[in-house]
Amino acid sequence: MSTLLTVRDLVVEVPARNIKIIDGINFSLDSGQTLGLVGESGCGKSMTCYAVADMLPRGIARIGGSVTFEQDAGGGRATPKIAMIFQDPTSSLNPVHTIGYYLETALYRHQGLKGMDARMEAVRLLERVGIDRAASRLRAYPHQFSGGMNQRVMIAHALAAKPQLLIADEPTTALDVTMQAQILHLLEELKAETGMALMIVSHDLGVIARLADRAAVMYCGKIVETAPVAELLQRPAHPYARALIDCMPSIDPQDLDPPVPIPGSVPLLDSLPEGCHFHPRCLRASVECSAHFPASAAVGLAHEASCYHPVAA
């Protein structure tokens, strides 16, 4: 597989307050691969996605590093088509426009389709994402759909762009368990059909385990561990990754131990602790941890962590 996306030393900041939201992260993504970004709320996962998609909110800027895509045929840099699925699909859809208008506008913008051609393709997309009576649903408004159906509309809208990279930011938030499973299954099917790369954000390691090939664990704007998903779940190296796994409830009937919460909370970005930002919450912390942030080091095959006292050791 060829490398589709490479992020190097990415720094995102609120210039007016000199607060770094993303602080020097590195990762790459191959065509057809799925990368999972995992961590607690406020760790910078969503902002990383916005930086990759060049959709940073006003007042936030990328001040360092690079986001580059695969080379085109002429040897220059190509910008692939990127689509994004947001956390709250209902609030992301314009309430004054019908579902048909929303999809047909995207089809005209990305594929040049209009009139009956756009309408027929919009129906096909809705059917593909599992919405029945698709032709009549084109006249519906977002408030007439459930949260799960609106998420399917968002996915259909993303497919209208024929993306090479699909970014899914907490795609199952606020959905019931059954609908979550359906959305995840749909994403798996679409990825297999189209060959697109997928970048998925979640605080739920169960979602990451199901969809992702590789995972990057984020804390306070930094990536503290990257590894193949199976390796991360079986042999986490960073204490924060270990703590996230311990928070997961077990479905093993022999495991009766309750989930273990992580002590404390994610610090505010304008008052980060010195050294490793996780050390005030870490049971393995030493004086060295509070003095300097540890460099990323290999702890296994394609497995790196930024920690002075990795769990694997």
Residue 300 is part of a domain; what is its CATH number? 3.40.50.300
CB atoms inside a 10 Å sphere around CB 283 = 9
- Least confident interval from 72-81, 141-150, 171-180, 210-219: 72-81
CB under 8 Å, gap of 24 or more: what pairs does 206-214 form? Answer: 206/248, 207/36, 207/172, 207/180, 208/36, 208/38, 209/233, 210/184, 211/34, 211/36, 211/184, 211/187, 212/34, 212/35, 212/36, 213/33, 213/34, 213/35, 214/33, 214/34, 214/35, 214/36, 214/302
Domain end residue (candidates: 142, 163, 184): 163
Question: Looking at the domain assignment, is residue 187 inside a domain?
Answer: no
Asked if residue 154 and residue 66 are part of one domain, the reply reads: no
Do residue 59 and residue 207 come from a single domain? yes
Q: Which of 163, 179, 208 is the last residue of a domain?
A: 163
In a domain, 277, yes or no: yes
210 lies in the same domain as 300: yes
pLDDT of residue 135: 94
- The answer on pLDDT for 173 being more than 50 is yes
pLDDT of residue 180: 86
Say yes or no: 201 and 275 in one domain: yes
Mean pLDDT of 124-128: 93
Mean pLDDT of 239-247: 93
What's residue 312's pLDDT?
67
Q: Which two tokens stand for residue 283?
A: 């049971």
Q: Which domain holds residue 250?
A: 3-80+196-305
Residue 14 vs residue 255, higher pLDDT: 14
User: How large is the average pLDDT for residues 246-268?
Assistant: 82
For the residues of 150-198, what is the DSSP string, one character each? HHHHHHHHHHTT--SEEEEESTTTT--HHHHHHHHHHHHHHHHHH--EE
Predicted confidence at residue 73, as pLDDT, reads 43
Query: Do residues 139 and 280 share a domain?
Result: no
Residue 220 has pLDDT above 50, yes or no: yes
Question: What mean pLDDT comes out for the span 248-259?
Answer: 74
Residue 170 belongs to a domain: no
Q: For residue 87, what pLDDT is reported? A: 83
Q: What angle do CA 127, 166, 113 make, to 5 degrees?
A: 50
- Same domain for 149 and 88, yes or no, is yes
pLDDT in tens, 14-56: 999 999 999 999 999 999 999 999 999 989 999 999 999 999 9
Indicate if 147 and 271 belong to the same structural domain. Answer: no
In sequence order, what are the residues at sequence separation of 6 or more whose Cβ sits closer than 8 angstroms to the Cβ of residue 312? 235, 236, 237, 299, 300, 305
Q: Which of 89-98, 173-182, 194-203 shows the lowest per-residue confidence on average (mean pLDDT)?
A: 173-182
Domain count, the chain: 2
Answer yes or no: do 288 and 210 share one domain. yes
Question: Do 102 and 74 share a structural domain?
Answer: no
Q: Report d(CA 52, CA 49) in Å as an integer.
A: 5
171: in domain: no
Closest CA to 142 of 207, 75, 95: 95
Lowest mean pLDDT among 33-42, 75-84, 192-201, 297-306: 75-84
pLDDT of res. 179: 84
Q: What is the pTM of this model?
A: 0.90
Look at residue 271 and tell me whether its pLDDT is greater than 50: yes
What's the mean per-residue pLDDT of the chain? 90
